[in-house]
Amino acid sequence: MDLSDLRVFQAVATAGGITRAATVLHRVPSNVTTRIKNLEDDLGVALFNREGRRLQLSPQGKVLLEFSNRLLSLAEQARNAMHEQAPRGVLHLGSMESTAAIRLPSLLGQIHERYPELSVELRTGTPRALTIRVLSGELDAALVAEPVSDPQLASLVVCTEPLVIIGPVDHPPIRSAHDIRKGTLLVFEPDCPHRQRLEAWCARDDMAPRRIIEVGSYHAILGCCVAGMGVALIPAAVLDTYTERARLSEHKLKGDFRAVRTMLVWRKDSPQPKVKLLADLIRENQLGRPKSSAQFVKRKTA
């Protein structure tokens, strides 16, 4: 049983006969008769009672007609939804934790206000895990750190995140990786792009950290740094929201390590109004425009 069978059945039930239904469907009567017989054989019931030339729905036929009307209506709504300009339903969005906390709240508020028929389901994770979910279709789009190299993905720059090394307030200036060679690195899991950048910075100076401790959240990393457990690399925007930042030292990085771009990614072969509106809002809000220097506290340079 498929939708085309149900359309034939619905036409016969409405017209009350094979010939009339065939005219409506632009089919020959024998084809309509065959489709109804096949449907009855498939379901194992008689859908019509024959009274002369006219067909009357059997009790089972009346039940099937009710379901047919609902299913065909839903199918038509689904077809129309593929071409609607106004987005609706659910936007399945992925994001890194820091981006979700710092960049997304105002954006999600605008989506809620402008598109009341669209809801957002947000999942956080590492760039690699989020990218896999976008490629599999589990997510419509995701906010991930560069690089984005998969040819199946389209991308848009969301913002450029300045990065800083933080440590306890009395930590000496950090000018190179050798300044932390006796210390401990506080990091996320190996897939974290900031951890990878910090490890690459150490490798550039041919320095292996004495100890690495994996931590599960930015709040935990900040608290551990305040307690003097080690140093960490985090987005400056995360530090700017921390109420205890006066108890931390900040150290800027140079060159390619000083910032990382956040990208919105989605499948090239699956453009959707939902993703387009998100991209348009990102452009409208100019999330990629860096803050002025007056908005940042002066930081030491590494």
Write the pLDDT tens digit of every residue in 93-119. 999 988 998 888 889 999 988 888 889
Chain-wide mean pLDDT for the chain?
A: 86
Residue 57 pLDDT > 50, yes or no? Answer: yes
b vs e for 140-164, b when ≥16 Cβ sit within 10 Å of the residue's Cβ?
Answer: bbbbbbeebeeeebbbbebbebbbb
Report the alpha-carbon distance of residue 166 to residue 228 in Å, rounded: 11
Please, are residues 267 and 154 in contact by the beta-carbon 8 Å criterion?
A: yes
Mean pLDDT along residues 166-170? 95
Burial of 196 (0-12, 13-18, 19+ CB in 10 A): middle
Q: Which amino acid is at 84?
A: E
Beta-carbon contacts of 298 under 8 Å, excluding residues fewer than 6 positions away, are none
User: What confidence tier does 256 reach under pLDDT thresholds 50, 70, 90?
Assistant: confident
Q: Is residue 21 within 8 Å of residue 11, measured between CB atoms?
A: yes
- pLDDT tens-digit readout, 213-255: 999 899 999 999 999 999 999 999 999 989 999 999 999 988 8
State the pLDDT at residue 75: 84
Cβ neighbourhood burial of 279 (10 Å; 0-12, 13-18, 19+): middle
Q: Is the Cα torsion angle 234, 127, 267, 101 positive or negative in sign?
A: negative
Model confidence at 122, pLDDT cuts 50, 70, 90, reads very high
- For 32-183, strand residue ranges (E) read 48-51, 54-57, 89-95, 118-124, 141-145, 153-168
pLDDT of the residue at 1:
76
